[in-house]
């Protein structure tokens, strides 16, 4: 595994990869992971391996195309492992890699916090809308 080099200050010039820079590849990977379907897919896989249609049911609202596309991007980034069994009917399992698991932990921390913060958020929205009216 890699060394947990402690870098918590933003704007640090020490890291070779800076997500705030427009051309940094880390921005792409971050979007794969935080994107509309990426975050939910990674989150759904944290429980364990799942099959395609199983995943599709869990990530409510995702289309076949988008799930397939999302899984490919995540597989390419080494976040998801795809294991196909040449049986009939075919069975394919998707599961997080060790890297993916670490990402999922941090993602779920965020997701759960957001879920638990929705009452304040909804209150803030009402307050905002009341103040601004329609504009």
Per CB under 7 A, residues contacting DNA are 35-37, 51-54, 61-66, 68, 72, 82, 84, 89-92, 94
Nearer Cβ to its own copies, position 92 or 108?
108
CA proximity to 49, closest of 83, 89, 90, 99: 83
Residues 32-71, interacting with its own copies (CB under 8 A): 33-36, 39-40, 43-44, 46-47, 58-61
Element (H, E) at 92: strand 91-96
**Spatial distance between the Cα atoms of 50 and 109, rounded to a whole number of angstroms:** 21
Nearer Cβ to its own copies, position 59 or 89?
59
The residues facing 95 across adjacent strands are 81
- Beta carbons within 10 angstroms of residue 111's beta carbon: 16
Nearer Cβ to DNA, position 82 or 112?
82
Candidates 31-39, 63-71, 83-91: pick the segment binding its own copies (CB under 8 A).
Answer: 31-39
Helices (H), 1-135: 25-34, 38-44, 52-58, 64-76, 98-116, 118-132
Task: Give contact residues for its own copies (rule: CB under 8 A).
Answer: 2, 4-11, 15-22, 25-26, 29-31, 33-36, 39-40, 43-44, 46-47, 58-61, 75-79, 99, 102-103, 106-125, 127-129
């Amino acid at each position: 595994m890699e060394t947990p080099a402690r870098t918590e200050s933003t704007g640090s010039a020490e890291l070779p990869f800076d997500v705030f820079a427009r051309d940094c590849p880390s921005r792409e990977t971050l979007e794969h992971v935080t994107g509309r379907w990426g975050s939910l897919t990674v989150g759904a896989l944290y429980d364990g391996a799942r099959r395609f249609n199983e995943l599709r049911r869990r990530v409510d609202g995702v289309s076949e195309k988008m799930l397939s596309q999302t899984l490919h991007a995540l597989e390419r980034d080494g976040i998801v492992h795809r294991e196909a069994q040449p049986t009939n009917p075919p069975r394919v399992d998707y599961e997080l890699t060790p890297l993916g698991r670490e990402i999922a932990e941090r993602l779920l921390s965020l997701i759960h916090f957001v879920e638990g913060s929705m009452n304040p958020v909804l209150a803030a929205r009402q307050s905002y809308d009341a103040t601004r009216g329609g504009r």
